[in-house]
Amino acid sequence: MLKAGFHYLSGNIAIAEGAIAAGCRFFGGYPITPSSEIAEHLSRRLPQVGGTYIQMEDEIGSIVAVIGASWGGAKSMTATSGPGLSLMMENLGLAVMTETPLVIVDVQRGGPSTGLPTLVGQGDVMQAKWGSHGPYEIIAISPESPQECFDLMIRAFNLSEEYRVPVLVLTDEVLSHLYEKVKIPPASKIKLVKRKYMKSPKDFDKQLKKWDLVPPMPPTGEGFAYHMTGLTHDARGYPNVSEEMQELLVRRLNDKIRLNADKIVDIDEFMMDDAECVLVGFGSVSRSIKEAAIRLRNEGKKVGVARLRTIWPFATKYFDELADKVRKIFVAEVNYGQVFLEVERAVHGKVPVELFEKMGGMIHRPHEIVEKVQEAYA
């Protein structure tokens, strides 16, 4: 990995270096703006550290190759943008169903469709959670700076190993090309979660009797003769297409995230102590939001920021409790209201929630947010 100390990195390069620091040794991907620097950087770096970069034929092949490499025992990832993420959706479901640890970086751009390839968007929030068919839970995290791109890639890999779930890292075009100082810690200071493996094929019987919320994975090539399938299956991995097994398996796949939401959810609070009015955002927009909050504080308005470092599972409990303490919540995002819908759901009508939407192409400028809040105060 990079030498400990300060480096000047873009969001995309910090993502790639964070992945290497996290122990990622396989990248399968397909070029797409604005994520391509991640693939380019890893094509140079991975062979240096004994890993593999392979350019797949499309995003469908990319995510499936990542699933294959992960079952082979390597920490594995891909990186893409909205159109590529759309293509990955079916096999995101396969990764959920087969409980495959992997990381997908989605550098969001303006959509729908080809949209704004080189300009920012934040419209993939709902797709990340609902884009594949069937009821499922995933984890999505969202950095706001190159420093967090590095740090949260490590967390992303750790979460994916801990919960055996695909983790999405939702960045955006502005952040991906933003260069800042990044502090790289020495390798000894980076805590990595080790994958939990079964110890003997007898563990299948234990799991058949009582299925762990997050079962250990059978290792490959060790005589376990495991089977895994995207079909509804039992703890042995054998297909069992029945209402009962669907209930057992799919409820557990959801519950392993739902019941651990408190441990996963991470909110960055900024000037929240006495806040009456809360600005909510994520990704590069948080930078404008924080600047706007400072300006509004200077005017004497009690404004704070609750910035989502994790988006999924959603911080429902946090916002429910927050709604008892504050008078108004604003959500600023580069889409037509996605996190906004979740916040609205979470506050149970206790406080008004207002959306500052932007269709894409540019993040909110701080003064635009200031003016919106001033209007509300007037």
Question: Can you give the binding site for other proteins, defined by CB under 8 A?
Answer: 25-26, 28, 47-48, 50, 52, 54, 56-58, 60-62, 64-74, 76, 90-91, 93-94, 98, 218, 220-231, 238-239
For other proteins, the closer of residues 11 and 218 by Cβ is: 218
Q: How far apart are CA 241 and CA 248, in angstroms?
A: 11
d(CA 140, CA 359): 21
User: How near is the Cβ of 273 to other proteins at its closest, in Å?
Assistant: 48
CB of 25 to other proteins, least distance (A): 7
The minimum distance between CB 82 and other proteins, in angstroms, equals 20
Selection from 177, 234, 182 nearest residue 21 by Cα: 182
Smallest Cα–Cα separation from 323: which of 345, 350, 283, 358? 350
**94 is written with which tokens?**
């396969």
Nearer to other proteins, 61 or 110 (CB): 61
Task: Specify the residue, 35 or 76, whose C-beta has the smaller distance to other proteins.
Answer: 76
The packing angle between helices 11-21 and 36-45, to 10°, is 40
Residue (74 or 265) nearer to other proteins, CB: 74
User: Strands of 353-357's sheet, edge to edge?
Assistant: 267-270, 303-308, 277-281, 328-333, 353-357
Q: Which is nearer to other proteins, 35 or 98 (CB)?
A: 98
Please state the closest distance from residue 130 (CB atom) to other proteins, in A: 18
Least distance from other proteins to the Cβ atom of residue 117, Å: 22
Whole-number Cα distances in Å, 13 to 166, 167, 179, 217: 21, 19, 9, 31
**Rounded to the nearest whole angstrom, what is the least distance from the CB of residue 70 to other proteins in the complex?**
8
β-strands 5-10, 179-184 pairing: antiparallel
Identity of the residue, 59 or 333, whose beta carbon is nearer to other proteins in the bound complex: 59
What's at 355, amino acid-wise?
L
How many Cβ atoms from other residues are within 10 Å of residue 243's Cβ?
8
Q: Partners of 168 in the beta sheet?
A: 104, 140
